[in-house]
Amino acid sequence: MSQINRLNTGARTDSTSRINFTYNGKQMQGVAGDTLASALLANGVNVVGRSFKYSRPRGIVGHGAEEPNAIMQIGSGAATVPNLRATQVELYEGLESASVNGWPNVNFDLMSITGWFGRMMPPGFYYKTFMYPAKLWMTYEHFIRKAAGLGSAPVQDDPDSYDKLNQHCDVLVVGAGPAGLVAAREAARAGARVIIADEQSEFGGSLLASINSIDGQAATSWVDELVAELESFSNVQTLPRSTAFGYYDHNFLGILQRRTDHLGISADSGSRQRLHRVRAKRVILATGAFERPLVFAQNDIPGVMQASSVSTYINRYGVAPGNRMILFTTNDNAYQTAIDWHRAGRAVVAVVDSRSAPSGEIVGSGTGNGYSSNSRLRSD
């Protein structure tokens, strides 16, 4: 399978490089800077999982921590890791990935026959049945347990080691998007001891997928300059690939740094992951926002994706996740996705706007970009 959806527009990927990986046993290729999700989309993979209860096919919806469907088993043997989101797994040479549900495979799942009985299984149906005869519950439970769960825990001892650091700082910044980066810079210039952490592989947040400019400069190069300045301060500690997971009393935060997961399934030397136990004088939460998914019937079928994610795949990773797009929106922001899609040489079939008369600047600029305002439909 080739990278049928690969573009050369990716600001943070190198489309001339080649990284080999496998998905459900199939050999595939991605490029440097890819996540597993962007590489799968580049290879035209549409179905990445099955839903928990009815085994409905599911595709990639998001591009980060919010991804609900692309849950993967990464690696094999003692070092295997269950339930990683493909959108958060950085591609490395030899990566093995497999979808966690679906039997015999994710494209043809015999468990989906449970979907035929879906009407018999409303939420909480298990409280209403499996009670008689009482003796049979343990048998029922055996099969319920087998059908549940996502990936598999390893069954051998963990080959890796882990460590922790106790840290103190004046200002802890959680999130290295535009707000966090500028906050960290200002604190650092004022002489404060700063730690800035971000869960992604590189700093920049939403700007990594932006084609806008800041102070007359491309957003991505503005990020590069700011990060370089931060790294030049001796009073600043930068922690990429580091997730702040808990904010406890008296400004104590736990941060998990993934030190080697982007290099391979197991660490060659040193610890695989590090816990930073941070006691901060001040904490700045600059964690950004997720796009709120729209609710409509069948919104879980493969091919439905968040608008911001479509733009991110095109602009950051150089991947167009499909050929023809219908854009459904409630606001001006998503129109940028139609523009990006058109720029990627793909067809915008229609824009469906729930508002009766959208009139923002970006809405108008769409005319002449492959879709016209009269293709808008009112959802009411």
Partner 1 sequence: MLLIHCPHCREDREEEEYSYSGEAHIVRPLEPEALSDQEWGDYLFFRKNPKGIHHEMWYHAVGCRRYFYATRNTLSYEILETYKVGEQPQVSAQGAAQ
Partner 2 sequence: MKKYSGFSLFKNALSYHENWQKLWRSPKPKDYYDVIVVGGGGHGLATAYYLAKVHGITKVAVIEKGYLGGGNTARNTTIIRSNYLWDEAAQLYELSLKLWEGLSQELNYNVMFSQRGVLNLGHNLQDMRDIERRVNANRLNGIDGEVVTPERVKEIAPLINISKDCRYPILGASWQPRGGTARHDAVAWGYARGADALGVDLIQETEVIGIRRKNGSVVGVETTQGFIGTRKVACVTAGNSGVVAAMAGLRLPVESRPLQALVSEPVKPCLDTVVMSNAVHGYISQSDKGDLVIGAGVDGYNGYGQRGSFHVIEHTLQAICELFPAFSRVRMNRQWGGVVDTCPDACPIISKTSVDGLYFNCGWGTGGFKATPGSGYVFADTVANDHPHPLAAAFNVDRFNTGALIDEHGAAGVAH
Interface ranges with partner 1 (CB under 8 A):
248-252, 279
Q: Peptide bond preceding 133: is omega within 30 degrees of 0, i.e. cis?
A: yes
Indicate whether 77 belongs to the interface with partner 2 (CB under 8 A): no
Q: Which is nearer to partner 2, 139 or 365 (CB)?
A: 139
> Which residues does 106 contact at the CB level (< 8 Å), separation at least 6?
24, 47, 48, 49, 50, 57, 99
Query: Which does residue 250 touch among partner 1, partner 2, none (CB within 5 to 8 A, set by kind)?
Result: partner 1
Q: Which is nearer to partner 2, 83 or 201 (CB)?
A: 83
Q: Which is nearer to partner 1, 206 or 251 (CB)?
A: 251
- On whether the CB atoms of residues 41 and 87 are closer than 8 A, the answer is no
Q: Which is nearer to partner 2, 275 or 349 (CB)?
A: 275
C-alpha 265/C-alpha 189 separation (Å) is: 38
Indicate whether 119 belongs to the interface with partner 2 (CB under 8 A): yes
Amino acid at 4: I
Indicate whether 151 belongs to the interface with partner 2 (CB under 8 A): yes
- On whether the CB atoms of residues 323 and 7 are closer than 8 A, the answer is no
Q: Which is nearer to partner 1, 117 or 252 (CB)?
A: 252
The SS3 of residue 122 is coil
Query: Which does residue 132 touch among partner 1, partner 2, none (CB within 5 to 8 A, set by kind)?
Result: partner 2
Binding-site member from 104, 148, 228, 357 for partner 2 (CB under 8 A)? 148
How many other β-carbons are positioned within 10 Å of the β-carbon of residue 157?
6
Query: Which does residue 79 touch among partner 2, partner 1, none (CB within 5 to 8 A, set by kind)?
Result: partner 2
Binding-site member from 2, 22, 152, 367 for partner 2 (CB under 8 A)? 152
Query: Which does residue 279 touch among partner 1, partner 2, none (CB within 5 to 8 A, set by kind)?
Result: partner 1
User: Which stretch, 17-25, 34-42, 120-128, 324-332, contacts partner 2 (CB under 8 A)?
Assistant: 120-128
Q: Which is nearer to partner 2, 129 or 365 (CB)?
A: 129
C-alpha 81/C-alpha 287 separation (Å) is: 26
Q: Which is nearer to partner 1, 112 or 251 (CB)?
A: 251
Amino acid at 268: D
The SS3 of residue 302 is coil
Strands 14-23 and 95-99: parallel
C-alpha 51/C-alpha 58 separation (Å) is: 7
Binding-site member from 93, 158, 163, 186 for partner 2 (CB under 8 A)? 158
Indicate whether 205 belongs to the interface with partner 2 (CB under 8 A): no
Indicate whether 82 belongs to the interface with partner 2 (CB under 8 A): yes
Residues 209-248 that bind partner 2 (CB under 8 A): 246, 248
Sole residue written with tokens 């269950």: 82
**Binders of partner 2: how many residues, by CB under 8 A?**
44
The SS3 of residue 117 is helix
- On whether the CB atoms of residues 152 and 265 are closer than 8 A, the answer is no
Indicate whether 277 belongs to the interface with partner 2 (CB under 8 A): yes
Q: Which is nearer to partner 2, 217 or 252 (CB)?
A: 252
C-alpha 151/C-alpha 176 separation (Å) is: 31
Query: Which does residue 138 touch among partner 1, partner 2, none (CB within 5 to 8 A, set by kind)?
Result: partner 2
- DSSP at 377: B
Sole residue written with tokens 């390893």: 154
C-alpha 178/C-alpha 284 separation (Å) is: 13
Sole residue written with tokens 């990594």: 208
Q: Which is nearer to partner 2, 123 or 216 (CB)?
A: 123
Binding residues vs partner 2 (CB under 8 A) = 78-83, 119-120, 122, 125-132, 134, 137-138, 141, 144-146, 148-158, 160, 162, 246, 248-249, 252, 254, 275, 277
